[in-house]
Amino acid sequence: MNKIKRGPKDVASDFEKLIHGSAEESYVLRLYVSGTTPQSLRAIDNIKKICEENFKGRYDLEIIDLYQNPELAKEAQVIAAPTLIKKLPLPLRRIIGDMSNTERVIIGLDLRKA
C-alpha cells in the first residue's frame, strides 16, 4: 500500500480547517426522544425542518428512541427527552425541548448558516 507523505504545510492547513470550519461545514446531530409522544414527534418534525431549511445536504441527523435504547441515555448523559446534541462541528452543544423555537435552536446549538 502506498503512503502519501504530508508536509507541515498540509498538516497546518488541515488544522486551520478544523479550528475555523469551512464554508461547507457538515453538522452531526443526535435527537434523543422518548417513543412516539406528541412532544417527541414535534421535535422530530421541527429539527428536520430546521435542518432542511438551513443546512440542506450538510447534516447527519440520527434519531434515537430512548424507549428502545435506554442505555444510550446514560452513555450520552441525557436526562430529559427530547434532547438534541450537536456532535460536530465542535464544541458539543445540547438543547432540550420540542425544537419549536427555531431561532433558539439555531443560536443555542451555534448552528449558523455558512
Q: Sign of the C-alpha dihedral, residues 68, 74, 75, 77?
A: positive
pTM: 0.75
Strands (E), the chain: 27-33, 59-65, 83-88, 93-96
pLDDT of residue 101: 93
Architecture (CATH level 2) of domain 27-108: 3-Layer(aba) Sandwich (3.40)
Going by pLDDT thresholds of 50, 70 and 90, the confidence category of residue 109 is confident
For the segment 22-51, the average pLDDT, to the nearest whole number, is 91
For the segment 33-57, the average pLDDT, to the nearest whole number, is 95
Report yes or no: 94 and 83 within 8 Å, Cβ to Cβ: yes
The alpha carbon torsion through 41, 45, 111, 33 (nearest 10 deg) reads 20
For the segment 14-42, the average pLDDT, to the nearest whole number, is 78
pLDDT of residue 23: 52
